[in-house]
Amino acid sequence: METQIGELYEQLGDLKDKLSNLLEEKHRLEMENHHLRGRLEQADDDFQENEVVKESHSIPGEGYDNLARLYEEGFHICNVHFGTPRREEDCLFCLQFLNKTK
């Protein structure tokens, strides 16, 4: 009976150690979760601010300039014939696209 009590006492000590480790890991994960949620909220706020800034700027960017340059070099930029050479005439689809992105 004394040996069984000793074994039970050892098992109880092991369970206490495991419980302590689990509680420490739980606390660590809660802190990590808290920090990640903070970063996610900050990233979401930054994204929303950038979207507002993008919507307020109606100035064409570098992509528009590149498409306009390609059109001037004699290539189609419309979705119908994108990348194919133009035959010295203006393409109404390309022109409409250029006017739409302004």
CB 76 within 8 A of CB 89: no
The predicted structure's pLDDT at residue 23: 95
- pTM here is 0.43
The H or E element that residue 65 is part of is helix 62-72
pLDDT digits 0-9 by tens, 23-82: 999 999 999 999 989 888 888 888 877 766 555 555 567 788 888 888 888 888 888 888
The predicted structure's pLDDT at residue 73: 86
What angle do helix axes 62-72 and 92-101 make, rounded to 10 degrees?
A: 160
pLDDT digits 0-9 by tens, 92-102: 888 888 887 55
